[in-house]
Structure 1
Amino acid sequence: MTAGNRTDPPRSGTERETLRAYLDYHRATLAMKCAGLTDEELRRRSMPPSTLSLLGLVRHLAEVERAWFRRVFEDGEAPLVWSDRTDFQAAYDASGSTRAEAFAAWEAEVENSRRIEREAGSLDLAGYQPRWGEEVSLRMALVHVLLEYARHNGHADFLREGVDGVVGA
């Protein structure tokens, strides 16, 4: 996924088309916020004591994709990408990470998530969320992941501005 592939969501469509389009829009927004930066710039932290960085957000959202699609609808025992102890905070430590590593993991999880959604016959498809110990629908997972991206893209706006002053969309 590259920064230049962001398409505005449709003004109308089915529920599924709308959810898919908004999620892809936010995925592309994250890529856009990271475009053109070096590994060092992507690892730059916001401000003490926070360890938040753009690269940390990419890593975290790879975990979010995995946790809400792969683990819920395919393999509840699948390990996280950056933690074998199911520590969702571990992804934020991007101090030893590179763009290539983080984006490869994120893009692989995004593609797997898209495949799961495409192959599902219905948004009512139920999967088991191991963190909650209960079943959730694909619809709920899509909405949850969309909200994660929307929230973290707000962080990405501020992080990018802090790196090089770039703001906007």
Structure 2
Amino acid sequence: MTTDKRTEPETTAAEREMLTGFLEYHRDTLLMKCEGLTDAQLRTPSVTPSTLTLMGLVRHVADVERWWFRMVMAGEEIEPLYYSDEDPDGDFRTTGETTWEATLADWRAEVAAAREVTAAHGLDDLSVRKSRRGEPFNLRWILTHMIEEYARHNGHADLLREAIDGVTGE
């Protein structure tokens, strides 16, 4: 992996800067885990029977970014990128046609859109879409959930990267 370019939020940052700072930190962490690997390596699962791969994780978080920021918070009527009702785990899967270049481009586009939605709303602003119980989410909840989502999957990425080439670290 290359030099660590991640930036942690200031220890005394205000709430918004703290939340967005930790989300950016975790986004950068996932990309750092993928740096320097080939398409084939990015498709390599760690241990059978698992089919989880680094490329699959990036596809998954691209769809998660899309869901929470664009579809839930902003209420955009768009389809998921990779999963469907017929294939609910399609975001985790890669095929022979799936490339890192396209996956990374999709992820970057969704992160850019998520940043725009975040910038357009206050932490207390409520989502257009509601929870299964009919409750809206505020942006604070969504940012916190996204930090948790990335942190969990970055743990998976640690294990996947170590199984691929022995690289470990934060």
Instruction: Quote the Cα distance in structure 1 between the aligned partners of 2:90 and 2:158.
Output: 22
Matched, 1:140 2:141: yes
Deviations 1:14-46 (A, max 9, x none): 100000000000000000000000000000012
Write the letter of the residue equivalent to 2:143: L
Q: TM-score, normalised by structure 1?
A: 0.91
- Contact 1:43–1:54 (Cα < 8 Å) also in 2: yes
Matches for 1:10-21 after TM superposition, within 5 Å: 10-21=10-21
CA-CA distance at 1:50 after TM superposition: 1.2
Instruction: Quote the Cα distance in structure 2 between the aligned partners of 1:86 and 1:137.
Output: 30
Match of 2:107 in 1: 106
- Contact 1:76–1:129 (Cα < 8 Å) also in 2: no
Instruction: Quote the Cα distance in structure 1 between the aligned partners of 2:6 and 2:88.
Output: 27
Q: Larger deviation: 134-143 or 80-89?
A: 80-89
Instruction: Quote the Cα distance in structure 2 between the aligned partners of 1:22 and 1:50.
Output: 29
Match of 1:61 in 2: 61
Write the letter of the residue equivalent to 1:44: T
CA-CA distance at 1:48 after TM superposition: 1.7
Tell me the SS of whatever aligns to 1:128: strand
Specify every segment of 5 or more residues in structure 1 that has no aligned partner in the other structure, as ranges.
Answer: none
Tell me the SS of whatever aligns to 1:148: helix
Instruction: Quote the Cα distance in structure 1 between the aligned partners of 2:3 and 2:129.
Output: 31
- Structure 1 residues 59 and 15, CA gap change in structure 2 (3 angstroms): same
- Contact 1:3–1:35 (Cα < 8 Å) also in 2: no
Match of 2:155 in 1: 154
- Contact 1:83–1:90 (Cα < 8 Å) also in 2: yes
Q: TM-score, normalised by structure 2?
A: 0.91
Relative to its length, the structure with more helix (as a share) is 1
- Contact 1:126–1:138 (Cα < 8 Å) also in 2: yes
Deviations 1:49-85 (A, max 9, x none): 2110000000000011011100012235310001343
Match of 1:71 in 2: 71
Instruction: Quote the Cα distance in structure 1 between the aligned partners of 2:3 and 2:33.
Output: 8
Specify every segment of 5 or more residues in structure 2 that has no aligned partner in the other structure, as ranges.
Answer: none
- Structure 1 residues 131 and 77, CA gap change in structure 2 (3 angstroms): farther
Deviations 1:64-118 (A, max 9, x none): 1011100012235310001343854111101331110111111100010011111
